[in-house]
């Protein structure tokens, strides 16, 4: 079974059957204005914040066949009535002759044919703009002239997205719509909750005369809503009721008579859904985007953005699925996670409980550095302002208000209200940013800590370097009975919530990695004293981990408050955890022998054809002492599911022990593009990584969920480009240190780095995994594997011979 194909030349995935197992989505715009569009034209759009300023009402829990947020109806004159259908298949579900949803870079284009009418709708948000455009072309592909009406429809939500669902008293009494009619016959239908009338209005408009409109859902569907979205009774009438809603469920439906369309003829019409402080303020840009050339130009600009973005790193390897992911879809997913963190998707609903995640966004930054360093820096600044004065960090924050919160730990009075890992990820993100850009001045930038006085002024500020130092100092202080870092409410593995006093080996190793970064940075800054101090701390923690955490064949994952190990062969369930094996390698705490053994245990006990499961065996029953992890059945999510985020950590660890064959095997087995031809098991989009796949203990082994917003995107991108292909930004320049499958003859990479382009050819005549024998730059052999940062705007030819 297949639902579509990759069109590599257009950098699209094309869905050809709208009945995908779950909605397959795409993102348009950015967090500043945008959201997601599903493959049947439904859209969830918001401005700056999906929780506090949402525009369209999209309820993912409704059946796939239901209207969600936006659609388009067409009706064809037939005698005294009409044939009504949606070119998006949903919600009318008419039989189609052709259906294509082109999932593009920042746009979705739906091309369909129903009843002799071809409709092509391109949905996008112009760069930096606050409107979503739907560029609609209706072509008569039948042999006969036909009279066509087009009725695009939007359903609004209250901007406070949670309130829409929790308060059916206040919300409907406040929602209002008002029409603004222009002399030309063009119309703008505005919408707002009463209190925002003077400050923030949504608008829906088009560049074609509107003969009538509707803004009340009850009237549009008809008969007190015993009419339906599949069959809105108002569209059986010649005109809509021109009603300006004073309350209730607000929609915007605009009826356009496109007239009689001759065979072969096309009509083009573009709608705009946007938000501004006032209609007056919105009008100039509305008028601008009513011109077809302006729409075309905006679309080209979007394409140019993606051309540039992707041009920074392009690869050519012996594996076509790797190429299509690394050249297009993986960096694109990284940009989406940078924007939306874990805030808004089909699975993360932006309804209050989740916001921007501290650890999530810090890791997302790792995936965009070659292409969007400035955006990464801006997000880093926001993150560091969510750090506490004591060096720990709040777990999440609201992007609009910058109010931070303690995440799920709020729900447990008896537990710590911090996560032991959050603040450490930011150290990794800052150093990765510095290595990419060489912008060491960033370390001196002064940013506030989160605590405020009564007037909302920050109590204290510090340089970026100070923020980093405090992060390390926090973990150094915050240790438990064994001298290992306390778990806090949780570490990276969110739902393992142990009673206060538990210690985390993940945090110990993450701390080790962060210390290595600080040592390297201190040397770079010629601060030998700091380097020495961090080295001593590193050695101390390394000793503790190696004395306490080795279980015989793998590493222990936690110590409970009473000293009981978790992730040990002595446990009944949860004997081995995957992240517990990857991180001692990444931290450098593992000896080579233990690293090998730990990775062999992963292969033997956790690996499956669909990816490496997080832990085994699964916990079979709820256990409040272990927390959320035991709310899942064995094989689901963090309870022994394939939690993909961890897989690239193992890939990196394998490259660190020099095993390029295993690294690539693990890479390929989770590459979603390889599942396109057997998608019935996987179900999610084959063009992005999902967060989780059901593990081998679950009867539905192989079923993916929670696509798009996952740390998998950034980490797989890093694992593949920096560790398998081995192109690494360092303080001194661009390092080339591949660890590839032996059978590869080589590969090519084009990488832009600090203002120069490196055209790299790696040759593998001896069929080895790694080991650089010779590097030539522009025909000259250099010593070592680090190519200098030329910063001269030129392209440099680099040849690397392995052996
Ligand atoms: C998803 C969360 O967004 C992330 O922060 C966490 O580390 C993983 N789940 C693992 O629990």
Residue nearest to atom 5 of ligand 1 (CA): 360
- Average predicted confidence (pLDDT) for the chain: 97
Average pLDDT over every residue of 165-190: 95
In this predicted structure, the answer to whether residue 684 has a pLDDT above a threshold of 90 is yes
Residue nearest to atom 10 of ligand 1 (CA): 493
pLDDT band at 185 (very low <50, low <70, confident <90, very high): confident
Residue with tokens 């992890």: 629
Average pLDDT over every residue of 46-73: 97
Q: Return the best residue to mutate from 353, 360, 365 for the ligand 1 pocket (most ligand atoms within 8 A of CB).
A: 360
Return the pLDDT at 413: 87
Expressed in angstroms and rounded, the spacing between residue 520 Cα and the centre of ligand 1 is 28
Residue nearest to atom 9 of ligand 1 (CA): 494
| Residue 354 Cα: closest atom of ligand 1 | 3
CA distance 577 to 555: 8
Return the pLDDT at 354: 83
Expressed in angstroms and rounded, the spacing between residue 14 Cα and the centre of ligand 1 is 30
455: which strand partners? none
Expressed in angstroms and rounded, the spacing between residue 643 Cα and the centre of ligand 1 is 9
Q: How far is CA 182 from CA 209, 554, 749, in A?
A: 10, 72, 54
Using a 6 Å CB cutoff, which residues line ligand 1? Answer: 342, 357, 359-360, 492-494, 638
CA distance 521 to 514: 10
Percent of all residues in the chain with a pLDDT value above 70, rounded to a whole number: 100
| Residue 492 Cα: closest atom of ligand 1 | 7
Q: What angle do CA 293, 294, 299 make, to 5 degrees?
A: 95
3-class SS of residue 474? helix
Per residue in 793-802, pLDDT tens? 999 999 999 9
DSSP letter, residue 785? S
Residue with tokens 């008028």: 287
Per residue in 474-496, pLDDT tens? 999 999 999 999 999 999 999 99
Tokens of 433: 């940013």
Average pLDDT over every residue of 301-311: 98
**Phi and psi at residue 733, to the nearest 5°:** 160, -160
Q: Return the best residue to mutate from 344, 645, 648, 689 for the ligand 1 pocket (most ligand atoms within 8 A of CB).
A: 645
**Phi and psi at residue 217, to the nearest 5°:** -60, -40
pLDDT band at 343 (very low <50, low <70, confident <90, very high): very high
Strands (E), 436-559: 446-448, 461-463, 503-504, 558-559
pLDDT band at 257 (very low <50, low <70, confident <90, very high): very high
**b vs e for 474-485, b when ≥16 Cβ sit within 10 Å of the residue's Cβ?**
bbbebbbebebb
Quick one: which H or E segment has residue 510? helix 505-524
pLDDT band at 329 (very low <50, low <70, confident <90, very high): very high
Is-contact 183 195, C-beta < 8 A?
A: no
Expressed in angstroms and rounded, the spacing between residue 493 Cα and the centre of ligand 1 is 6
Expressed in angstroms and rounded, the spacing between residue 348 Cα and the centre of ligand 1 is 12
Residue nearest to atom 7 of ligand 1 (CA): 492
In this predicted structure, the answer to whether residue 204 has a pLDDT above a threshold of 80 is yes
pLDDT band at 173 (very low <50, low <70, confident <90, very high): very high
Expressed in angstroms and rounded, the spacing between residue 492 Cα and the centre of ligand 1 is 6
In this predicted structure, the answer to whether residue 1 has a pLDDT above a threshold of 80 is no
Average pLDDT over every residue of 652-666: 98
Expressed in angstroms and rounded, the spacing between residue 494 Cα and the centre of ligand 1 is 6
Quick one: which H or E segment has residue 531? helix 528-548
CA distance 118 to 115: 8
**Residues catalogued as catalytic:** 494
Identify the CA nearest to 42 among candidates 69, 19, 72.
69
DSSP 191-246: EEEGGGTTT-EEEEEESS---EEEEEHHHHH-GGGTS-SSS-GGGGSSS---B--S
Average pLDDT over every residue of 650-674: 98
CA distance 747 to 764: 9
Expressed in angstroms and rounded, the spacing between residue 626 Cα and the centre of ligand 1 is 16
Identify the CA nearest to 643 among candidates 574, 692, 580, 706.
692
Identify the CA nearest to 655 among candidates 609, 719, 714.
719
760: which strand partners? 749, 798
Q: Return the best residue to mutate from 711, 712, 714 for the ligand 1 pocket (most ligand atoms within 8 A of CB).
A: 711
| Residue 360 Cα: closest atom of ligand 1 | 5
In this predicted structure, the answer to whether residue 299 has a pLDDT above a threshold of 90 is yes
Average pLDDT over every residue of 329-334: 98
| Residue 638 Cα: closest atom of ligand 1 | 11
Expressed in angstroms and rounded, the spacing between residue 587 Cα and the centre of ligand 1 is 20
Q: How far is CA 56 from CA 44, 252, 254, 467, in A?
A: 5, 11, 16, 39
Return the pLDDT at 283: 97
Tokens of 319: 């594996």
Quick one: which H or E segment has residue 775? strand 772-777
In this predicted structure, the answer to whether residue 411 has a pLDDT above a threshold of 90 is no
Radius of gyration of the chain (CA): 28
Average pLDDT over every residue of 503-514: 98
In this predicted structure, the answer to whether residue 352 has a pLDDT above a threshold of 80 is no
DSSP letter, residue 550? B
Expressed in angstroms and rounded, the spacing between residue 467 Cα and the centre of ligand 1 is 23
pLDDT band at 543 (very low <50, low <70, confident <90, very high): very high
Q: How far is CA 49 from CA 85, 574, 707, in A?
A: 33, 38, 20
**Cis check: omega of the bond before 572, within 30 degrees of 0:** no
Average pLDDT over every residue of 250-257: 98
Return the pLDDT at 703: 98
Cα-Cα-Cα-Cα torsion 473, 477, 478, 481, nearest 10 degrees, comes to 150
| Residue 359 Cα: closest atom of ligand 1 | 5
| Residue 709 Cα: closest atom of ligand 1 | 3
Helix axes 422-437, 358-366, angle to 10 degrees: 20
CA distance 325 to 332: 9
Beta-carbon-side half-sphere exposure of residue 473 (alpha carbons within 13 Å): 12
Other beta carbons within 10 Å of 101: 30
List alpha helices for 312-447, DSSP H. 320-324, 330-340, 358-366, 373-384, 422-437
Q: Return the best residue to mutate from 494, 614, 712 for the ligand 1 pocket (most ligand atoms within 8 A of CB).
A: 494
Strands (E), 711-753: 727-729, 733-736, 746-753
Is-contact 492 506, C-beta < 8 A?
A: yes
* Sheet with 733-736, side-by-side order of all strands: 727-729, 733-736, 786-788
| Residue 494 Cα: closest atom of ligand 1 | 11
26: which strand partners? 37
Expressed in angstroms and rounded, the spacing between residue 791 Cα and the centre of ligand 1 is 38
Is-contact 471 464, C-beta < 8 A?
A: no
3-class SS of residue 723? helix
DSSP 559-591: E-TTS-EESSTTSSS--EESHHHHHHHHTT-S-
Model's pTM, two decimal places?
0.98
Which residues does 539 contact at the CB level (< 8 Å), separation at least 6? none
């Amino acid at each position: 079974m297949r639902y579509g194909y990759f069109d590599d030349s257009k950098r699209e995935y094309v869905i050809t059957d709208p009945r995908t197992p779950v909605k397959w989505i795409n993102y348009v715009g950015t967090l500043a204005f945008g959201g997601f569009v599903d493959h049947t034209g439904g859209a969830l759009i918001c401005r700056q914040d999906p929780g506090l300023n949402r525009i369209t009402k999209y309820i993912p829990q409704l059946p796939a066949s239901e209207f969600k947020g936006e659609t388009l109806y067409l009706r064809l004159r037939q005698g005294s009535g009409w044939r009504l259908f949606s070119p998006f298949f949903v919600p009318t579900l008419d039989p189609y002759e052709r259906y294509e949803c082109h999932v593009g870079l920042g746009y979705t284009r739906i091309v369909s044919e129903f009843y002799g009418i071809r409709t092509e709708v391109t949905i996008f948000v112009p760069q930096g703009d606050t409107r979503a455009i739907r560029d609609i072309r209706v072509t008569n592909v039948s042999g006969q002239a036909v009279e066509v009406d087009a009725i695009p429809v939007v359903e609004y939500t209250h901007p406070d997205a949670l309130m829409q669902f929790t308060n059916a008293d206040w919300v409907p009494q406040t929602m209002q719509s008002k029409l603004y009619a222009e002399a030309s016959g063009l119309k703008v239908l505005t919408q707002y909750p009463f209190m925002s009338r003077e400050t923030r209005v949504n608008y829906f408009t088009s560049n074609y005369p509107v003969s009538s409109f509707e803004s009340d859902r009850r009237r549009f569907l008809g008969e007190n809503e015993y009419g339906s979205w599949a069959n809105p009774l108002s569209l059986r009438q010649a005109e809509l009721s021109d009603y300006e809603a004073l309350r209730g469920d607000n929609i915007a439906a605009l009826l356009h008579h496109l007239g009689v369309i001759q065979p072969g003829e096309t009509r083009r019409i573009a709608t705009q859904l946007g938000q501004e402080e006032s209609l007056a303020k919105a009008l100039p840009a509305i008028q601008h985007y009513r011109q077809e050339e302006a729409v075309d130009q905006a679309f080209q600009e979007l394409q140019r953005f993606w051309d540039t973005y992707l041009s920074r790193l392009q690869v050519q390897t012996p594996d076509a699925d790797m190429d299509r992911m690394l050249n297009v879809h993986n960096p694109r997913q990284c940009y989406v996670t940078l924007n939306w963190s874990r805030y808004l998707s089909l699975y993360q609903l932006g309804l209050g409980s989740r916001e921007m995640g501290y650890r999530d966004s810090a890791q997302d930054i790792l995936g965009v550095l070659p292409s969007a360093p400035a955006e990464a820096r801006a997000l880093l600044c926001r993150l560091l302002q969510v750090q506490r004065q004591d060096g720990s960090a709040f777990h999440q924050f609201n992007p609009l208000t910058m109010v931070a919160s303690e995440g799920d730990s709020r729900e447990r009075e008896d537990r710590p209200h911090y996560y032991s890992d959050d603040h450490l990820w930011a150290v990794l993100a800052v150093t990765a940013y510095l290595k990419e850009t060489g912008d060491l001045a960033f370390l001196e930038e002064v940013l506030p800590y989160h605590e405020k006085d009564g007037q909302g002024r920050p109590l204290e500020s510090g340089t970026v370097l100070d923020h980093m130092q405090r992060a390390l100092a926090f973990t150094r202080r915050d240790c438990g009975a064994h001298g290992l870092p306390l778990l806090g409410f949780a570490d990276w593995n969110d739902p393992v919530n142990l009673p206060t006093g538990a210690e985390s080996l993940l945090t110990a190793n993450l701390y080790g990695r962060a210390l290595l970064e600080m040592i390297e940075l201190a040397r770079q800054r010629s601060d030998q004293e700091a380097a020495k101090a961090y080295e001593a701390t590193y050695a101390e923690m390394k000793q503790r981990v190696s004395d306490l955490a080795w279980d015989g064949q793998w590493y222990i994952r936690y110590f409970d408050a009473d000293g009981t190990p978790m992730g040990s062969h002595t446990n009944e369930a949860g004997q081995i955890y995957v992240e517990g094996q990857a991180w001692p390698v990444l931290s450098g705490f593992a000896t080579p022998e233990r690293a090998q053994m730990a990775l062999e245990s992963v292969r033997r006990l956790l690996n499956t054809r669909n990816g490496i499961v997080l832990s085994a065996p699964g916990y079979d029953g709820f256990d409040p002492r272990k927390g959320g992890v035991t709310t899942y059945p064995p094989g689901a999510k963090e309870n022994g599911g394939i939690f993909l985020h961890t897989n690239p950590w193992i890939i990196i660890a394998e490259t660190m022990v020099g095993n390029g064959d295993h690294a690539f095997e693990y890479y390929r087995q989770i590459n979603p593009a390889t599942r396109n031809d057997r998608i019935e098991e996987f179900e999610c989009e084959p063009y992005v990584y999902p967060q989780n796949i059901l593990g081998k203990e679950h009867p539905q082994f192989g079923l993916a969920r929670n696509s798009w917003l996952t740390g998998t995107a950034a980490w797989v991108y890093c694992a593949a480009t920096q560790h398998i292909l081995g192109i690494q930004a360092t303080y001194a320049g661009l390092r080339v240190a591949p660890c590839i499958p032996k059978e590869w003859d080589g590969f090519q990479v084009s990488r832009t780095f600090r203002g120069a382009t490196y055209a790299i050819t790696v040759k593998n005549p001896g069929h080895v995994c790694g080991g650089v024998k010779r590097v030539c730059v522009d025909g000259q052999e250099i010593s070592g594997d680090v190519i200098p940062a030329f910063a001269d705007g030129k392209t440099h030819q680099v040849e690397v011979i392995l052996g």
